Amino acid sequence: MLNPENIGRKSEEREIVVEHGQLKLFAKAIFETNPIYFDEAAAKAAGHPDILAPPTFGNCLKLLAPSKDLSYDSLGIDYKGLLHAEEKIESYQPIYAGDRLTLLTEVVDMYEKKGGALEFLVMRTSIHRQGELVQSLTGTVVMRQEVA
């Protein structure tokens, strides 16, 4: 069960360096064909400083640098009943391989549907580079209590 007292809770700041290999594996998994997403030389030839992270990669950074303070356990979330309900990505600056980024996550909302059979949890993660906001991600997950 979700505890509404968790609304407003913030994670610790997490630092992560965007790894070339991670971006290349991600590009392979989504069958990316544009080499600016997996080849340093191609990215530079196209005017980028390094391999460009694709539009949804910010969500991967959330998962690659998980919060200890806002762990699923601490929020009462069980993987078995968990589904992704919504994701909104607001981009302000591109993310490149080699970037050293800081992530901060906050519990934004919790609500129920179907008399509590479905519980929704909304969390927002902001990604900063040297104090500048580069991306904000708002994700909603849903837990089906009958299988949790």
Residue 37 C-beta: closest distance to another protein, Å: 8
34 binds another protein (CB under 8 A): yes
38 within 8 A of 19, measured Cβ to Cβ: no
CB-wise, 33 or 130, nearer to another protein? 33
147 binds another protein (CB under 8 A): yes
In this structure, how many other beta carbons lie within 10 angstroms of the beta carbon of residue 63? 7
Among 6, 9, 20, 26, which residue sits at the site for another protein (rule: CB under 8 A)? 26
Using only C-alpha atoms, the chain has a radius of gyration, in whole angstroms, of 17
- For the chain, first and last CA: distance in Å? 9
How big is the site for another protein, counted in residues (CB under 8 A)?
A: 44
Q: Which of 38, 12, 8 is nearest to 23 (CA)?
A: 38
140 within 8 A of 86, measured Cβ to Cβ: yes
Among 7, 9, 50, 85, which residue sits at the site for another protein (rule: CB under 8 A)? 85
Partner residues linked to 52 by β-bridges: 96
Residue 55 φ/ψ, nearest 5 degrees:
-55, -35
Residue 95 C-beta: closest distance to another protein, Å: 10
Among 29, 130, 131, 132, which residue sits at the site for another protein (rule: CB under 8 A)? 29
Residues lying near another protein in the complex (CB under 8 A): 22, 25-36, 38-39, 41-42, 45-46, 52, 54-56, 59-64, 79-91, 94, 147
